[in-house]
């Protein structure tokens, strides 16, 4: 493992971000972990993120920021829950204990506080702490990335954009991660529907770093939201060799590619991408982003009337161990898609009952606080739709359709729930529900003109009216 090119104690101090350790090796490994997190790339020559985490703890077992970044990354990955994973809960406690036993900078203490809050599900408070760090230290990329992820999970799209906008003037082109900062800003612009600005910013980032998979993702997302499917397909094909090296994001970019094909009605091509790329990568990585993408891709295909055969049963092996995690409502809803698609009633019941029980006493956990009014109705609607109770699904979803954003995720990811509501309204025997479907489709057409998927749904809705 050669980390000689990464920043040592002196370099971090000169940048105004001193790290409380005497080990240059620990500082360099911290930088190596941060680099892989920012670039979405597991650098195998360094042993990947996992290898670097093991190495940084060996270099200085008491290095607080080493614990902050390793434990924080596991928490923001949402693949484990302190509710069920004692090892992770212990890692959080260890980080806090180490911080209490040492002289640290106020910035480092704030990082520890934010990680502890995040572990409790107090995402708003954690983001406030990270934003406080950035007010004094605008070039602290770890605080910025953690805040960015936190706002993403909260559905706080404007904050996700403005968090980056506030620090951008303090960064210079020669600084590490400068181009990736532009990619992050592009995503915030995208999620606040400033599509042209988002595309411009992402392409500026790609001009500096062609393999920036996050910026490729942003451009792909823009084409999707603007219903520029042919343009999007051409762009993805032309950049594939570059973003493929960003292995942590490759699966998600293939997911977007598959959505282009669904939009065009090329279902066999979408299934091929699922089989050869999305599902295979999901199984290999176990990353939550890859898992939820696999879930929603199958569900979208089924909404379009495509048979996915035994694929749900295969995916259930990946999602089932997370049934009682309840880290994010967004994740829970995707796991539910799979248990319903697999006809696995025991898993479905366990997921719903355990979530209902936790929602009774949410404490500081934001996701559990909104479970009663947003998450559980959405879960129940999935169940009702699966059982053919379309009117009940509509009655559950219609009053909260403008609150879907609160479960987190991107506009593209949450669109599956809008599609679900439209399909349920079209399948309902209630004429008022069918009229509501037509209204939803008019709204959708206004936001995404020239969408082939919307056109197909409009034609279907009109045939019902006739």
State the DSSP string of 107-163. HHHHHHHHHHHHHTT-HHHHHHHHHHHHHH-TT-HHHHHHHHHHHHHHT-HHHHHHH
Contact 199, 230 (CB under 8 A): no
Site of tokens 């240059």: 24
Cα–chain-centroid distance for residue 321? 19
Taking the chain (466 residues) in runs of 10, the rounded mean pLDDT of each run is 90 97 97 96 93 97 98 96 94 97 97 98 98 98 98 97 98 95 97 96 94 92 91 92 84 95 96 97 95 98 96 98 96 98 98 97 95 98 98 98 96 96 95 94 92 93 75
Would the pTM of this model clear 0.85, i.e. be above it? yes
Of 214, 245, 276, the residue at which a domain comes to its end is 245
- The answer to whether residue 345 is domain-embedded is no
Together in a domain, 239 and 140 = no
- The answer to whether residue 342 is domain-embedded is no
CA distance 295 to 228: 24
**Rama region for 78: left / alpha / beta (φ>0; ψ in -120 to 50; rest):** left
pLDDT number for residue 1: 66
Together in a domain, 237 and 110 = no
Together in a domain, 96 and 216 = no
pLDDT number for residue 135: 98
Together in a domain, 25 and 149 = yes
Q: Looking at the 3D structure of the chain, how many domains does it have?
A: 2
Together in a domain, 105 and 176 = no
**Which CATH number goes with the domain that contains 9?**
1.25.40
| Nearest CA-CA partner of 39 in 164, 179, 167 | 179
Of 103, 122, 154, the residue at which a domain comes to its end is 154
Of 189, 221, 245, the residue at which a domain comes to its end is 245
- The answer to whether residue 274 is domain-embedded is no
Cα–chain-centroid distance for residue 277? 18
Together in a domain, 75 and 109 = yes
Contact 74, 53 (CB under 8 A): no
pLDDT number for residue 242: 85
- The answer to whether residue 100 is domain-embedded is yes
- The answer to whether residue 250 is domain-embedded is no
pLDDT number for residue 170: 97
- The answer to whether residue 204 is domain-embedded is yes
Write the DSSP symbol of residue 373.
I
Together in a domain, 114 and 43 = yes
pLDDT number for residue 464: 75
CA distance 329 to 282: 20
- The answer to whether residue 466 is domain-embedded is no
Together in a domain, 92 and 207 = no
pLDDT number for residue 178: 96
Together in a domain, 17 and 85 = yes
Cα–chain-centroid distance for residue 107? 26
- The answer to whether residue 339 is domain-embedded is no
CA distance 412 to 8: 40
Contact 224, 193 (CB under 8 A): no
Cβ-proximal residues to 345 (8 Å cutoff; 6+ apart), any chain: none
> Long-range contacts for 99-106 (Cβ within 8 Å, ≥24 apart)?
99/64, 102/20, 102/62, 102/64, 103/20, 104/20, 104/64, 105/18, 105/20
Cβ-proximal residues to 225 (8 Å cutoff; 6+ apart), any chain: 190, 193, 195, 411, 412, 448
pLDDT number for residue 466: 55
Together in a domain, 52 and 112 = yes
Rg (CA), the chain: 22
* Segments forming the whole domain that contains residue 104: 1-154
Together in a domain, 38 and 144 = yes
| Nearest CA-CA partner of 142 in 189, 180, 190, 104 | 180
Together in a domain, 20 and 149 = yes
| Nearest CA-CA partner of 171 in 211, 141, 205 | 141
């Amino acid at each position: 493992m050669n980390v000689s090119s990464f920043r040592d104690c002196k370099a971090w101090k000169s940048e105004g971000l001193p790290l409380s350790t005497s080990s240059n090796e620990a500082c360099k490994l911290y930088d190596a972990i941060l680099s892989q997190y920012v670039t979405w790339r597991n650098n195998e020559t360094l042993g990947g993120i996992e290898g670097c985490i093991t190495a940084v703890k060996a270099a200085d077992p008491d290095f607080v920021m080493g614990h902050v970044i390793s434990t924080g990354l596991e928490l923001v990955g949402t693949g484990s829950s302190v509710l069920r994973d004692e090892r992770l809960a212990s890692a959080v406690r260890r980080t806090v204990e180490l911080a209490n036993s040492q002289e640290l900078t106020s910035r480092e203490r704030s990082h520890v506080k934010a990680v502890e809050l995040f572990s409790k599900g107090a995402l708003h408070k954690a983001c406030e702490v990270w934003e406080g760090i950035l007010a004094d230290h605008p070039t602290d990329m770890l605080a910025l990335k953690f805040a960015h992820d936190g706002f993403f999970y909260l559905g706080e799209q404007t904050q996700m954009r403005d968090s980056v906008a506030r620090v951008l003037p303090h960064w210079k082109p020669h600084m590490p991660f400068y181009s990736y900062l532009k990619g992050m800003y592009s995503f915030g612009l995208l999620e606040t529907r400033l599509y042209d600005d988002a595309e411009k910013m992402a392409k500026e980032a790609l001009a500096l770093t062609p393999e920036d998979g996050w910026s490729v993702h942003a451009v792909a997302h823009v084409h999707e939201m603007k219903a520029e499917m042919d343009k999007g397909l051409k762009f993805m094909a032309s950049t594939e060799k570059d973003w493929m090296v960003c292995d942590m994001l490759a699966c998600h970019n293939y997911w977007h590619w598959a959505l282009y094909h669904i939009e065009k009605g090329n279902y066999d091509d979408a299934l091929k991408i699922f089989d050869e790329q999305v599902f295979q990568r999901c199984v290999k990585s176990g990353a939550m982003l890859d898992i939820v993408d696999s879930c929603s891709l199958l569900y979208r295909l089924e909404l379009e009337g495509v048979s996915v055969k035994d694929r749900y049963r295969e995916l259930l092996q990946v999602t089932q161990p997370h049934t009682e995690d309840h880290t994010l409502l967004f994740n829970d809803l995707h796991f539910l898609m799979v248990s319903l698609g697999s006809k696995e009633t025991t898993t479905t019941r366990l997921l719903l009952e355990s979530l209902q029980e936790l929602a009774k006493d949410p404490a500081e956990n934001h996701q559990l606080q909104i479970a009663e009014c947003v998450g559980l109705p959405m879960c129940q609607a999935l169940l009702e739709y699966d059982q053919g109770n379309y009117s009940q699904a509509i009655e559950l979803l219609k009053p909260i359709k403008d609150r879907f954003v609160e479960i987190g995720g991107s506009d593209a990811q949450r669109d599956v729930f809008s599609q679900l509501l439209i399909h349920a309204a079209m399948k309902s025997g209630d004429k008022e529900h069918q009229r509501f479907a037509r209204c939803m489709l008019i709204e959708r057409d206004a936001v995404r003109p020239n969408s082939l998927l919307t056109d197909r749904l409009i034609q279907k809705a009109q045939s019902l009216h006739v």
